[in-house]
Amino acid sequence: MTITDDFARSHLPAAAAMPDLIFTLPELQYPPRLNCVTRLLDHWVRAGEGGRPCLIGAGVEWSYAETQAKVNRIANVLVQHYGITPGQRVLLRAPNGPMLAACLLAVIKAGAIAVPTMPMLRARELTYPMEKARISLALCDVHLRDELEGTRMLSPALGPVGYFGDAAADGLEALMDAASDQFDAVDTAAGDVCLIGFTSGTTGVPKGSMHFHRDLLAVCDAYGAQVLRPVAADRFIGSPPLAFTFGLGGLLLFPLHVGASAVLLERAGPDDLLQAIPQYGATVCISAPTAYRVMLGKLAGRDFSRLRKCVSAGETLPKATFDAWLGATGIRMLDGIGSTEMFHIFIAAREEDTRAGATGKPVPGYEAKVVDAELNEVPDGTPGRLAVRGPTGCKYLDDPRQASYVQGGWNLTGDTYIRDADGYFWFQARSDDMIVSAGYNIAGPEVEAALMLHPAVAECAVIGWPDPARGMLVKAFIVLTPGHTGDAALTTDLQDFVKATIAPYKYPRAIDYVAALPKTATGKLQRFRLREG
Ligand code: 3UK
């Protein structure tokens, strides 16, 4: 069986625009043909480990054998009921949970391409990935039905949707019951696309990052095996959505790669984690600095004794948080920088090598350097642009922005870093206008576009404002249309309006009313002047 739908392959970047891919470790030498689900799931059942716990959710615990049976049933439904062919894209929409994980694995096992989406995205935000990835089939939690059905008017190509999470006669579970629990993984190439992850770009237009079967194993063999080093007895837990490659790697691929188990929580805010870590006896926690900071203040009386590893990524981990967590739990947190384009973490440090406040050193299998505008390496101690390469790399779906992320074969993440004389990398700032708030990337222009739809808003600018709890918070500067007053009632009204227009977490937590916005002579907004306060 080969890929019959050529869309993803034919929309890969041209050879000259591809990043260098290097496979320096013995573990990274993959055979030319592989389906990553064979290694992550079938492998354990074949090895006689099918009875081990695999996916855990509220009131649910599936062994590896049970997970495999669910995945096989879903794969059969996809092929026989929905008629999907290898290479076709399938949109996935659900909060974290065993069913979402099973759907994702089933899509990939069937040789198709998973396009997971953040559950909080609204109908209008779903349209772009749907059109860009040419989605015709979706699997979706029935509780998110309204927003998905709301996209049909804008994206008429959307065909059937398999809804799960209720007992409907035409629901996914009913179709699964009628399907076989046997399914042989489709024989894909190591370099076939199996996943597309969408991010919000700095311009507000999302970018689709394509990843190969091989990439999903490479992050396990690189960061997983070299830095995190989990064991089969581990029980993973954490906050990032599986639709974010941070969550997909940390909460699904890493545990399955070593035969461990994953606790997938629908709600995984700091307060949920505080309760769930002791409840499930979690040993590895995957989250963002903000969440660890919130948890720090509430650890008293909690039994975190089984917890042994804490991964922090998404934004920089301040030294103060590292030190306080070490004091409170005895655990040296693992900071690591990753990106949707690189799939997962490429600079980090093992516990014994951590340096509070530094991100770490290149993960074995990756190379990193700090360069100037001309891509020349700058001396240690000098800030510059972070450039990385390794077994994974940026492969945008049909996007001219490939040329800004990949230059001279290196991936330029858009971050400013300093390397010290010992080879440690220290994060300075994002080089662009992206607002990173509580671990989420929020594009200011997208929030501006939403605000501009409100009749009271004449003009606006949205920037990141330093905030001790969230890293950055979304702050809007607004020029009102005549007849409106910038009072508390209007602020609440505007905030609610944004929440109803785009994903609620992007709403401006602070709003200032101003008479005019700073602009250049050519009329361009000067965001840096607003940031200066
Ligand atoms: C920033 C960090 C300082 C940095 C991600 C781990 O965050 C992830 O992916 P995104 O595409 O954002 C990437 C950008 O976020 N960043 C991430 N981690 C750190 N800055 N210290 C850190 N430890 O600007 C980077 O370019 O949303 C993280 C694994 C997978 C991921 N996708």
Please state the domain extents for the chain. Answer: 231-331, 442-531
Q: How many whole angstroms separate alpha carbon 236 and alpha carbon 252?
A: 9
Q: What local confidence, expressed as pLDDT, does residue 523 receive?
A: 54
Confidence band of 314 (pLDDT split at 50, 70, 90): confident
Please tell me whether residue 209 adopts helix, strand or coil conformation.
strand
Q: State pLDDT tens for residues 122-168.
A: 888 899 999 999 999 999 999 999 999 999 988 889 999 999 999 88
Residue with the two structure tokens 């089933």? 106
- Average pLDDT estimate for 32-44: 98
Q: What is the DSSP letter of 212?
A: E
Measured CA distances, 502 to 204, 412, 470, 488 (Å): 12, 28, 20, 21
Q: Say what the pLDDT of residue 204 is.
A: 56
Query: What's the fold here for domain 442-531?
Result: GMP Synthetase; Chain A, domain 3 (3.30.300)
Helices (H), 47-121: 64-76, 98-109
Yes or no: say if 248 and 101 are a contact pair by the CB < 8 Å rule: no
Does the structure show a pLDDT above 60 at 378?
yes
pLDDT band at 521 (very low <50, low <70, confident <90, very high): very low
pLDDT at 522 over 50: no
Spatial contact of 281 and 316, defined as CB atoms under 8 Å apart: no
Helical ranges in 188-288 per DSSP H:
213-219, 245-248, 254-258, 270-280
Place of tokens 């995205």: 121
pLDDT at 36: 98
* pLDDT reported for residue 203: 47
Measured distance CA(145)–CA(30) in Å, rounded: 39
Q: What's the rounded mean pLDDT across residues 164-174? A: 93
Average pLDDT over residues 312-335: 91
- What pTM, to 2 d.p., does this model score? 0.86
Distance 1 CA to ligand 1 centre (A): 36
Whole-number pLDDT of residue 518: 86
d(CA 323, CA 150): 47
Dig out the tokens for 205 from the structure.
Answer: 């237009």
Supply the pLDDT for residue 200.
57
Mean per-residue pLDDT of the chain: 93
- Which of helix, strand or coil describes residue 92? strand
Which tokens in the block code for residue 101?
A: 């994980």
Q: How far is the CA of 338 from the centre of ligand 1 (A)?
A: 4
User: Rounded to the nearest whole angstrom, what is the distance from the C-alpha of residue 241 to the centroid of ligand 1?
Assistant: 14
Range scoring the smallest mean pLDDT among 136-150, 158-172, 217-231, 513-527: 513-527
Distances (CA, A) of 253 to 41, 292, 387, 519: 10, 22, 25, 47
Q: Give the residue whose CA is nearest to atom 30 of ligand 1.
A: 246
* Total residues belonging to the chain: 533
pLDDT of 429 strictly over 90: no
pLDDT for residue 452: 84
Could you give the CA distance from residue 90 to residue 207 in angstroms, rounded to a whole number?
17
Taking only the tens place, the pLDDT of each residue in 64-116 is 999 999 999 999 999 999 999 999 999 999 999 999 999 999 999 999 999 99
CA–CA gap between residue 41 and residue 36 (Å, rounded): 9
pLDDT band for 1, please (50, 70, 90 cuts): low
- Tell me if domain 231-331 and domain 442-531 are identical in fold: no
- Measuring from atom 8 of ligand 1, which residue has the nearest CA? 339
Structure tokens at 100: 């979402």
Sign for the pseudo-dihedral over CA of 203, 199, 437, 446: positive
Q: Provide the residue type at 368 as one letter.
A: A
The contacts of residue 317 (CB under 8 Å, 6+ apart) are 289, 292, 333, 335, 357, 359
Averaged pLDDT for residues 432-455? 80
Q: For residue range 483-503, what is the model confidence (pLDDT) as tens digits?
A: 999 999 999 999 999 999 999
Query: 411 CB less than 6 Å from ligand 1?
Result: no
Residue tagged 């002579």 (tokens): 521
Question: Given this model, what pLDDT does residue 465 score?
Answer: 92
The answer to whether the beta carbons of residues 346 and 366 sit under 8 Å apart is yes
**Which residue's C-alpha comes closest to atom 9 of ligand 1?**
339
Please, how many CA atoms are within 13 Å of residue 160, restricted to the half-sphere of its CB? Answer: 12
**Kind of pairing, strands 235-238 and 261-263?**
parallel
pLDDT at 293 over 90: no
Please, which pLDDT band fits residue 2 given cuts at 50, 70 and 90?
low
- Please name the residue that has the structure tokens 């990949």: 406
The preferred substitution site among 315, 386, 505 for testing ligand 1, maximizing ligand atoms within 8 Å of CB, is: 315
Quickly list DSSP for 418-477.
EE-TTS-EEEEEESSS-EEETTEEE-HHHHHHHHTTSTTEEEEEEEEEEETTTEEEEEEE
Residue 332: φ, ψ to 5°: -85, 110
Would you say residue 244 has pLDDT above 80?
yes
Q: What is the mean pLDDT of residues 449-462?
A: 89
Instruction: Give mean pLDDT, residues 31-54.
Output: 98
Does ligand 1 come within 6 angstroms of the Cβ of 337? yes
Q: Is the pLDDT of residue 202 over 50?
A: no
pLDDT above 90: percentage of residues in the chain:
79
* Over residues 250-273, mean pLDDT: 97
CB 321 near ligand 1, within 6 Å? no
Least confident of 140-144, 202-206, 325-329: 202-206
Q: Say which residue, 225 or 318, is predicted with more confidence.
A: 225
pLDDT at 232: 98
Enumerate the H helices of 154-211 as residue ranges. 172-177
With residue 211 as reference, give the H or E element that holds it: strand 207-212
Mean of pLDDT values over 329-356: 97
Q: Evaluate whether 277 touches 60 at the Cβ level (below 8 Å).
A: no
For residue 33, what pLDDT band results from cuts at 50, 70 and 90?
very high
Q: Is 370 left (phi over 0), alpha (psi -120 to 50) or beta?
A: beta
Q: Which CATH number fits domain 231-331: 3.30.300.180, 3.90.1720.10, 3.20.20.30, 3.40.50.980?
A: 3.40.50.980
pLDDT above 70 for 350: yes
- What is the predicted pLDDT for the residue at 50? 98
pLDDT at 297: 85
User: What confidence category does residue 309 fall into, taking pLDDT thresholds of 50, 70 and 90?
Assistant: very high
CA distances from 295 to 270, 326, 393 (A): 6, 13, 33
Q: Which residue has the tokens 């409100």?
A: 454
Burial, 181: exposed, middle or buried (Cβ in 10 Å; 0-12, 13-18, 19+)?
middle
430: Cβ below 6 Å to ligand 1?
A: yes
